[in-house]
Amino acid sequence: MTATVKAQAGYASIMVPLNLGSGAADRVKLAASLADRFGSRLIGIAAEDFILPYVGDGLASVDALLIEESKRAVSADLARAEAIFRKAAGDMKHLVWRSAIETPRNFVLDQARAADLVVLARQAHHDPVQGGMSLSPGDLVMSLGRPLLVVPPDVSYLSGKHILVAWKDTREARRAVRDALPLLARAESVTVLSIGPDAEDQGAEDVRDYLVLHGVAAKAVLQTDSAKHAVNELIDFATEHGSDLIVSGAYGHNRMREWMFGGMTRDLLQASPVCCLMSH
């Protein structure tokens, strides 16, 4: 990096992975607006698998031509992703672009070392399958080692004025609150919501007091008698109170290379109409 980016306490470096889905530009615009707010460097990244074509018993020269043609197609996709990134980011000063012919998951996990926050969109139902450029938010959040901001379809801006913290007294939730502090500190209101029959035992008031010490306008709300599923309760609360960001721990474990999620993590990733900042 040739220039030094000076930022207030917050996110000095924000990363946004790109694919060629319909919401790619919106995702970059959201990440760019956050980078502008925090004076951050914005890193755009993209990777695509190179799938070796099956050529049967063809001649070696034909094989080489097909391989080169496949590589050119991948390079063209990466160039299109870069063009989307640069156009959507506009005239931001501190822009970085990185791309590779590689498995997207591995590339993102490697490159995340350069970022404080990673912004990733949830795929829209009408989006075509992204094939060699596809990324799973649920898979990434469990391995990233960085907070992941998951953006629902058709969202291009995050004000963060009213934030909802989905509180459960776990390591993951504590880390999510700490990772979200730059956004929480700038919010007009923050609600620490604990749901369930044991809500009074989860220490939501302690979290509220901790946030207040950090200059956050926070309050604690306990819902012990809810008859709804916790995720439905969270989403309903966010909708009723105008929250545009939910902060939550991400829960799950690795089993046979497939991530098995806690119900709240899975359902939030699939259904939340607002952005979710998650940490594991």
* Boundary of a domain, candidates 99, 129, 151: 151
The reported pTM is 0.88
Residues 110 and 191 both lie in one domain: no
Same domain (yes/no): 95, 72: yes
Q: Are 80 and 169 contained in the same domain?
A: no
Could you tell me if 218 and 172 lie in one domain?
A: yes
Query: Are 95 and 133 in the same domain?
Result: yes
Strands 189-195 and 218-223: parallel
What's the CATH number where 172 sits? 3.40.50.620
pLDDT digits (tens, 9 = 90+) for 153-204: 889 999 999 999 999 999 999 999 999 999 999 999 999 999 989 999 999 9
In a domain, 4, yes or no: no
Better-predicted residue by pLDDT, 143 or 253: 143
For residue 209, being part of any structural domain is answered with yes
Give percent of the chain with pLDDT exceeding 70: 85
Q: Is residue 1 part of a domain?
A: no
CA separation for the pair 97, 91 (Å, rounded): 14
pLDDT of res. 257: 34
Indicate whether 129 belongs to any domain. Answer: yes
pLDDT > 80? residue 248: yes
Question: Residue 31 has which token pair?
Answer: 């990440």
| pLDDT of 260 | 39
Highest mean pLDDT among 66-70, 93-97, 123-127, 267-271: 93-97
Write out the DSSP string of the chain.
--SPPP--SS-SEEEEE--SSTTHHHHHHHHHHHHHHHT-EEEEEEEE---PPP-TT--HHHHHHHHHHHHHHHHHHHHHHHHHHHHHHTT-SSEEEEEEES-HHHHHHHHGGG-SEEEEEPPPTTSPP-GGG---HHHHHHH-SS-EEEE-TT------SEEEEE--SSHHHHHHHHHTHHHHHH-SEEEEEEESTTGGGS-HHHHHHHHHHTT--EEEEEE-S--S-HHHHHHHHHHHTT--EEEEE--EEEETTEEEE-HHHHHHHHH-SSEEEEE-
Instruction: Please indicate, yes or no, whether residues 128 and 180 belong to a single structural domain of this protein.
Output: no
Residues 132 and 248 reside in one and the same domain = no
**Token pair listed for 260:** 């098995």
For the record, the structure tokens of 215 come out as: 């200059």
- Mean pLDDT along residues 76-87: 97
Residue 156 lies in a domain: no
44 and 132 together in one domain:
yes
Q: Mean of the per-residue pLDDT values for the chain?
A: 87
Domain-embedded: residue 7:
no
Number of domains in the chain: 2
Q: Give me the mean pLDDT over the 120-136 stretch.
A: 71
Shared domain check, 79 and 128: yes
Residue 64 has pLDDT above 60, yes or no: yes
Shared domain check, 226 and 141: no
Task: Say whether both 123 and 184 belong to one domain.
Answer: no
Domain range enclosing 125: 13-151
Per mean pLDDT, which range of 38-42, 50-54, 73-77, 100-104 is the poorest? 50-54
Whether 52 is covered by a domain: the verdict is yes
Whether residues 21 and 67 share a domain: the answer is yes
